């Protein structure tokens, strides 16, 4: 996750976006729940939950790092909740067990899926940037199973 965070910060350094990692709370109004995404990108100026200064409401991109215990929840229930947020445009699910990334991009009212295993770059259309998969998995050693 750290590698992706660095890549996003670098690619967005001169743009009006803020990148947050794990400790920033996100409010999902339609579901009336708060969550802590692994990484999320917000446009600046930031928008907060009414009456709060610690809970954001308008992500463009959210990333979750998959584990065996959270993968199904991240793909299903959590993604369904995130999709109720009007500003939400892209969702990345990053495998920590192998070089594999799932990307969901919103176009109009539809979501499109792309899986990456060997491609060189992920194009983040909502942000107008590309991130090298080699950068995301740089110095990551997978256990042999």
Q: Where are the domains of the chain?
A: 2-136
- Cβ pair 55, 25 in contact under 8 A: yes
Which pTM does this prediction carry?
0.93
What stretches of 61-120 adopt beta strand conformation (E)? Answer: 61-66, 90-95, 101-107, 110-116
Low-confidence ranges of the chain (pLDDT < 50): none
Beta bridge partners of 34: 27
Give the CA radius of gyration of the chain: 15
Question: SS3 for 101?
Answer: strand
According to the model, what pLDDT value does residue 145 have?
53
Domain 2-136 = CATH 1.10.443.10? no
The pLDDT tens digits of the residues spanning 108-126 come to: 999 999 999 877 899 999 9
Nearest to residue 37, comparing CAs of 52, 17, 57? Answer: 57
According to the model, what pLDDT value does residue 122 have?
95
The pLDDT tens digits of the residues spanning 32-42 come to: 999 999 999 99
According to the model, what pLDDT value does residue 144 have?
65
Residue labelled with tokens 């991130």: 131
According to the model, what pLDDT value does residue 68 have?
87
Beta bridge partners of 105: 90, 112
**Cis? peptide before 45, omega within 30° of 0:** yes
């Amino acid at each position: 996750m750290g590698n992706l965070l660095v890549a996003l910060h670098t690619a967005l350094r001169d743009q009006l976006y803020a990148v947050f990692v794990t400790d920033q709370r996100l409010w999902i109004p339609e579901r009336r729940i708060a969550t802590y995404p692994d990484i999320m990108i917000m446009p600046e100026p930031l928008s907060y939950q009414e009456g709060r200064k610690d809970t954001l409401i308008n992500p463009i991109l959210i990333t979750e790092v998959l584990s065996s215990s959270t993968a199904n929840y991240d793909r299903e229930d959590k993604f369904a909740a995130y999709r109720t947020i009007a500003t939400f445009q892209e969702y990345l699910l990053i495998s920590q067990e192998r070089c594999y990334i799932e990307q969901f991009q919103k176009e109009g009212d539809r979501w499109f899926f792309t899986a990456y295993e060997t491609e060189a770059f992920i194009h983040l259309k909502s942000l107008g940037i590309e991130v090298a998969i080699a950068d995301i998995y740089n110095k990551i050693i997978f256990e042999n199973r």
